[in-house]
Structure 1
Amino acid sequence: MLGFIRAGESLGSHLVPTRLGRGTTSILEPGQVEVKVDLGDHETSKAHDDIGAGPQVESLDDLERNFNAIIRDGQPDQVMDAMLDPRFESFVCLMPPSTFVEVFHLLSPAYFIDPYREIHRPIHPSAVDVKQYRSLDSIFDEFANNLSAILQIRWAGGQPLGLAEYTHLLDCARSMGDAIMADYIWHTIREDGMVPDSQCYNYYMEAKVWDKAYTGLEKYRLRMTPYLYRKRRFFEPNPGWQGYGTAARSVRKEVLQIFNEMTQEGTSGDTTTFVNVILASSRVGHMQGIKNVLHTVWNIDVDALLEQVEESMLPEVTPYDRSSPLYPTSHLLFAVAHAFGTNNDIPAALRTIDFISSRYDIPVPENVWLELFERSFVLSRPRFGPDAERNAKGQVTYDFLNTMFETMTAEPFNVRPTIEVHHILAKTAWDRARLSEFQRHMEAAYDLLRETRKKRRTARSIIEAYLGQPQTQILRSRAFADAVHAYDILRVRTMQQTVIMERLARLLLIHHRWMGRQNQAWERSLLPRALEEWRDFLPESVVYHTRGGLIEFDGATSWRQRNIRIHDRVPVRRPAFGTNINLDDDANDIDDDIFWDYYRQSAPHLDLSIPPLRRLFEAVQEDNVSSTYDDEAFLAEELGYEAGELEIPRVGRATKMPRQMRATAEDRQTGEADDTIPTGPGPLSWA
């Protein structure tokens, strides 16, 4: 992503960072004019008491106090802004290495990247584009560019970087799935004669394994199929197939080369190291490689588990003390779920996870269940095209997916379903024309949106209270920065869940065989009720089918616009005739984007150069241009059709189900009893 590593830069020796404490620490090297960073009690400058007065001239003492206070507070957003602020450039440039390392680690991907990566995971890139939301790629780019700018300031002052800083950069590359950035960092470490530790190696391998797997269409193309293997083997892959490679570009070969280099240097690996080797093998479909690692490190025989031999006949796992770096972790459980799931073998994933969990006494966390569920959903989809038979490898039935949901949400696992889980189950009900089941999951998804919206409203109220304070210096406080960050996460999550609700409403509308070909109840009663109940999640321009023909409403808004509503209120589920729905308490609340637009217009004196305010208002969109997004693209995205399947049904015949798809679905439905899963307490190995 970024070439911010300067060739030939001498990094010097590894400096162990010391813990920042109270007192006074020089930020200049010996022999230079001393400017001190006061790490004592927070002293606030009065230079910004008037938020509407614009920037004012500050003395060196004021700058020193402000910078000291920010560093001492350690609020990540404020630290990032201070490190990039030209007023503080000399402080950043001349900061002692140990202090810089401590401050640099505050700029963590766990704070700046991971929450947004998780929220963007279920949102299709086309939906982000239509809604004009900030893309995950742009979030990654901004974070990496900010880190690069900070390092350039250090280099300008002749300050070398040590292994601690480069380890942190590798962690950032790992979090973003950026192998190019990791390569730059790794080569610089080597050029400067540093010896990487196991953490460096692990970060580097993980950046390779997840290269470009979090963004774009690539995040939907992780399942190993013959088509995917072919598309990822090219040295100049097409858009949508960027990132880790297969064949001559094999990511497994790259990771094994890194692993061999690690062992040759005498650096011992840990569980994370072998997790990366497992995932690298899964990326190229090397199933034996996955099994070999599990058997060599933990003495887990996957083939014996699948043969359902007696527990007493299975070999004992390799005993490790819980403090051992090779003791299995939840990270290993997730890797097993992902590796076998993306290679079309859910039974192997379930039995291996159950075996590791029971033998090493590790509870199965929610993220592992959700990964198993998502991989099972992918394998439940109907297949099309010339590769349909090969792509159907590992296929599971719809009822298998539903029973997995019942199992993971019941005792003893008690996984709380996310909105993505209900979205998946609603799509499965859509395929099977099960209206009541679809509506049940749609309503459950809306309940989660309503819950998130209440949290967002509370977070917004806190910010409004800060903005109403007469002493505007509080807008530069850590508390306000924390409040804006918490609110921003909830704002983006509300956006995610609103998009999912709109897509569910669209699916509900375009399925014109809910009640069967001859049943008039849908178009005469249930459809009008649905239009009224979910009207806030539908545009004014809609099209749907009836027995008498096509009905088309031509209104002011359409699916191709960012804002599909003509009002400025939050979208809610509306009471309809024949229902017992009560209107939500927040039905008259102004939607947040519009609220902040109004607020900005009513307060032109606001100084948007203050970073938290800039972050608060920069998300407000002022245009509502139309996109080229069409119904066929939407249906392909929603129903999980894979690349390479040439016979994807068009909207006009989607709900009729093509003959090949119908036959496949019938086969799955007639075999549903074979995949019945007990829902009571017990082991995971029920596949």
Structure 2
Amino acid sequence: MNPLLVRLGQLESRRTIQTLWTSGSTKRAHWVCAECRAHKQRRGYSDEPLRWPGSNASVEQAAQEESRGPWGLQRERTISVRRVGSGELRSGERNQDERAARASGVEADFFDRNEASNVGAQETQHGSEAASRADVLWEQFEQDPSEHSLDTPDIDDETPETSIPKDSLLSVDYKTELPLALSRRSVDLTIRCLFSAAQQHDFGFLSAIPAPMFSAIINLVQPGDFLERLADAHMDISNAMAEHMRVAKMREIAFDYNRVILRTLKIRRVAGQTPRLEDYTTLLRSARTLRSFRSANTVWQSMVKDGLHPDTQCFNNYMASMVWNGWHNAGMRRKARVVPYTMKKRAAPKTRDTFRFGNYRIGKSGIKEKTMKTFSEMLAFGAVADVESFRILITACAREGDIKTVNAMLHRVWGIDVPAIMESRDEVSIAPTDFSDNPSMQPNEGLLATLAHAFGVNNDLPTALRVVDFVARHYRLDITRETWDALLEWTYVLTDKDSPGRLPWASVISLWNTMKGPPYSITPSLVMYNLLISNLADGNMTFQMIDRMNEALPLAQEDEEVARTARDRLIAALQEQQAEEVVEQVRREWEYARLIQRRNDFWLRNWIRMFLISVNQRKSSMSAAKAEQLLEIPRVLWEWRRFASDLPRYETATGFVEIELRDDEEGHNGAAAYANILEVMTQLKSQSRRYVGDTWMIDHEESEEIKRHMEKRRRMRRALIANGHDRKLIETSMPKYSAVVGELEDAKSLDL
């Protein structure tokens, strides 16, 4: 086991990445020692520059330590020394639009960003200049001009209390309440105690918090099941839906909680204490959950500055936050697909052309190159790669359309021969490698989801289905609902008539039947029903839609009952004046259940709309049997009247039919009932008020601060576009101007 682990973790994994770096070439590279590799490197890294300052270094190297950063990397000499703001510390993300707006002064290499956190380079004050820069360089999770975020708190700021908004909820006896909050696992009260102590400059109390107690705080305040479930729900909620439902978009939720995480880290550092490695691992995992590479980069720099050695889990969380940065935003997910338009934009050399696509840039300084380079540094540093590490690499390569490298990696690491699988060769001869004695490299259900995403994003669903089935059978893995969701979603996307790699329209129904039948026997979720019904609507399968809608309706009714029960539990908890942590947990359950209910209502209304559109599109090919089926439409509309408009209308072969489902009195009664529900929700929110996320799910409105920053982003975008137009105008006008001037000079010389 041990030789196999060492081979896979350090030697074989390094060879794998070295041989797979260029276009999936599988030529075997020769292993060279660290000394030789320092002189002639293939991918620009070696063990020498990764040594910590003063560790196992020669005399000449020790003499050069003054000019090296925390990782021993050579630092460029600069004329002036200044404190680097939090926005500039994140040079690894290569924010193209910010660089176009002003010179960032950051390095291009991956680990060059760490030198900005060197203590010797951060001695001068950053007053009004840093404040004005922070006013422009605000937090931008998805590198999209439409995304509103604020500047991430600087973990080295010596006055963290000034960045914490004042609130009456911070008036707590933090010395007494903090231990109680930890024992009761009250997340909101724990955060309030920390922030209250910081606002009151009680750094003596903060520095006296024992390391195990701070680790417990970090584990408690990290994004837990509630935020992860919210993130999963928001994967199916567009920005327009969120605004319609008056709930916060996931990017706002992620940013709000990201500030909590970074402020917690900053408070600890300002108090003169160094977080432990397990604390940094938790913080990096939090950034990964929030899909924030900026947050991960800030935490990473703090960890490097403290001289801690990152392990495999730290590297995995860091790389995953890079690969999945901003994935909660539906717009960013669409831009990650490998289609000609998005690939052209993501590879454009000019900043103004990649303004909306910089998050998943391809080519030089692209997502694959940065992830591969980070992985190489991880191996050079001595960390052992596991299955999670290779899952991240597969995703990064797939985002750039490099399926050849994905196939080579699968074959090199696990012996999974994708071309042979697609050629239907004898499975005995192409059986993958057995890793039962090495759990860290044993394929798991997560690898199946990664494969579905990798081939799906490259418009190759047949390969995704065959490979997922092959891996699941040979490693005895269950195909989880997450994987089926991805497969069904990509099948639906690829049935579009304009989609590259288009599949037949009936592919969704075929996959649906396979999923529900043996041996899988998957019970479809409402998300799956939404995809199937949308596919049936695209094919004008009107009456098959009715059957599927009737199948899905009980699922929506179950979610509605869960939301009603959660609301009643919250009311009871408030009336009985139960403990604060109980009210906090019950309210979170109610908010999540209510979000799911409102999402379902939105979908069911959309089904009725698509149903009527499908009916109207069938009138030209009306037969006697189909005309008889139209008699069922009034019954369907009456049974679904809650989700239909007051006066639905559809067309038949002989004319239009309008059905009045409710009169004016019923309409007024419904409006009054809805107003009463809003009043009850407002009262519940006010009686169970919390410090973090109080308005996320109930009657949410964007703050004035966020609106101002959104307007600044719009102005920046317009300025970049105008600048590009002006530059193009000058470039096209100069030759004409030169020609006219030349003609005038020639005419003048002739006159003379």
TM-score (norm 1): 0.70
Paired residue for 1:437, among 514, 533, 544? 544
In structure 2, which of residues 430, 440, 443 is the aligned counterpart of residue 328 of structure 1? 443
Contact 1:544 1:550 in 2 (8 A): yes
| Other-structure match for 1:450 | 557
Name which of 564, 578, 601 aligns with 1:498: 601
Q: Does 1:201 align with 2:315?
A: yes
- CA offsets 1:457-483 (integer angstroms, 9 cap, x no match): 1112211212222xx3x252x322222
| Aligned residue in 2 for 1:380 | 495
Are 1:291 and 2:407 matched, yes or no?
Answer: yes
Distance 1:568 1:490 in 2: 22
Q: Which amino acid aligns with 1:537?
A: F
Q: 1:110 to 1:71 in 2, by over 3 A?
A: closer
Aligned equivalent of 1:508: 611
Provide the C-alpha distance between the structure 1 equivalents of 2:169 and 2:242, rounded to a whole number of angstroms. Answer: 35
Aligned counterpart for 2:470 among listed residues 355, 366, 380: 355
Q: Structure 1: how far apart are the matches of 2:566 and 2:337?
A: 39
Question: Normalised by the size of structure 2, how large is the TM-score?
Answer: 0.64
Q: Distance in 2 between matches of 1:180 and 1:617?
A: 22
Within a 5 Å distance, the mapping from 1:55-66 to structure 2 comes to 63-66=174-177
Question: Among residues 562, 587, 595, which one is paired with 2:677 in the alignment?
Answer: 595
Aligned to 1:305: 421
Inter-partner Cα distance in structure 2 for 1:57 and 1:223: 48
SS of the residue aligned with 1:214?
coil
Aligned ranges for residues 648-687 of structure 1 at < 5 Å? Answer: none
CA deviation string 1:135-180 (max 9, x = no partner) = 1111111111112232333334233333333222221221222223
Residue 544 of structure 1 deviates from its aligned partner by 5.1
- Residue 643 (structure 1) aligns with: none
Of Structure 1 and Structure 2, the greater helix share is in: 2
Residue 656 (structure 1) aligns with: none
The answer to whether the Cα contact below 8 Å between 2:495 and 2:503 also exists between their aligned partners in 1 is yes
Query: Quick one: distance in 2 between partners of 1:241 and 1:445?
Result: 37
Distance 1:618 1:436, change over 3 A: closer
Superposition pairs of residues 574-613 of structure 1, within 5 angstroms: 594-595=676-677, 597-598=679-680, 600=682, 609=689
Which consecutive residues of structure 2, in runs of 5 or more, have no partner in the other structure?
Answer: 1-84, 90-115, 121-167, 703-752
Quick check: 186-195 or 252-261, which moved more?
186-195
Task: Tell me how far 1:344 sits from its aligned partner.
Answer: 1.7
In the alignment, is residue 167 of structure 1 matched against residue 269 of structure 2? no
Q: Is the 8 A contact 1:333 1:364 kept in 2?
A: yes
Give the deviation of 1:221 after TM superposition. Answer: 3.4
Percent of residue pairs identical: 22
> Does 1:137 find its partner at 2:258?
no
**TM-superposed deviation, 1:372:** 1.2
Question: Helix, strand or coil for the counterpart of 1:311?
Answer: coil
Corresponding residue for residue 155 of structure 2: none
Which residue type is aligned with residue 535 of structure 1? R
1:117, distance to aligned residue in structure 2 (A): 1.1
Which residue of the other structure, out of 483, 493, 498, is the alignment partner of 2:586?
A: 483
> Which of 186, 190, 196 is the matching residue for 1:79?
190
Amino acid at match of 2:562: K
Q: CA deviation at 1:119?
A: 0.5
Q: Retained in 2: the 8 A contact 1:459–1:483?
A: yes
Choose which of 387, 400, 407 in structure 2 pairs with 1:271. Answer: 387
Name which of 204, 212, 225 aligns with 1:98.
212
1:532-571 → structure 2 map (5 Å cutoff) = 532-540=638-646, 545=651, 567-568=669-670
Aligned residue identity for 2:295: M
> Which position in structure 2 is the counterpart of 1:392?
500
Which position in structure 2 is the counterpart of 1:338?
Answer: 453
Cα distance in structure 2, aligned partners of 1:465 and 1:535: 32
> Which digits, 9 at most, give the CA deviation of each residue in 1:329-372, with x for residues without a partner?
11111111110111122222222222222222222222112211
- Residue identity opposite 1:500 in structure 2: W
CA distance in 1 between counterparts of 2:169 and 2:287 reads 36
Letter paired with 2:181: I
> Which residue number corresponds to residue 468 of structure 1?
575
Matches of 2:312 and 2:265, distance apart in 1: 24
Distance, in Å, in 2 between the alignment partners of 1:55 and 1:339 is 46
Count of aligned pairs between the two proteins: 535
1:432 CA displacement: 1.6
**Cα separation, 1, equivalents of 2:669 and 2:437:** 57
State the Cα distance separating 1:115 from its structure 2 match: 0.6
Question: Residues 342, 57 of structure 1: CA spacing in aligned structure 2 closer, same or farther, 3 A cutoff?
Answer: closer
Taking the aligned partners of 1:257 and 1:110, their CA distance within structure 2 comes to: 30
SS at match of 2:359: coil
Cα 1:115–1:266, aligned 2, differ >3 Å: closer, same or farther?
A: same
| Amino acid of the structure 2 residue aligned with 1:513 | Q
- Residue 132 of structure 1 deviates from its aligned partner by 2.3
**Matched letter for residue 619 of structure 1:** I
> Amino acid of the residue matched to residue 71 of structure 1?
L
Moved more, 291-300 or 110-119: 110-119
Distance verdict in 2 for CA 1:381–1:285, change over 3 Å: same
- 8 Å CA contact 2:573–2:582 kept in 1: the answer is no
Structure 2 Cα separation of the partners of residues 565 and 339 of structure 1: 49
Task: Note the C-alpha offset of 1:444.
Answer: 2.5
Aligned CA distance change for structure 1 residues 364 and 323 (closer, same or farther; 3 Å): same
Aligned to 1:230: 344
Q: Distance in 1 between matches of 2:355 and 2:613?
A: 30
Tell me which moved more, 538-547 or 526-535.
538-547
Tell me the distance in 1 between the aligned counterparts of 2:549 and 2:590.
25
Q: What SS does structure 2 have at the residue aligned with 1:483?
A: helix
The 5-angstrom pairing of residues 605-624 of structure 1 reads: 609=689, 615=694, 619-620=698-699
Aligned residue in 1 for 2:332: 218
Cα gap change, 1:541 to 1:295, in 2 (>3 Å): same
Question: Alpha-carbon deviation of 1:569?
Answer: 8.2
Question: How far does residue 528 in structure 1 lie from its aligned partner after superposition?
Answer: 3.8
Alignment CA distance shift 1:300-1:97 (3 Å): same
Matched-pair contact (CA < 8 Å) for 1:543–1:551:
yes
CA contact (8 A) 1:597 1:620 kept: no
Q: Which ranges in structure 1 are unaligned for 5 or more consecutive residues?
A: 11-53, 384-390, 558-563, 571-589, 624-687
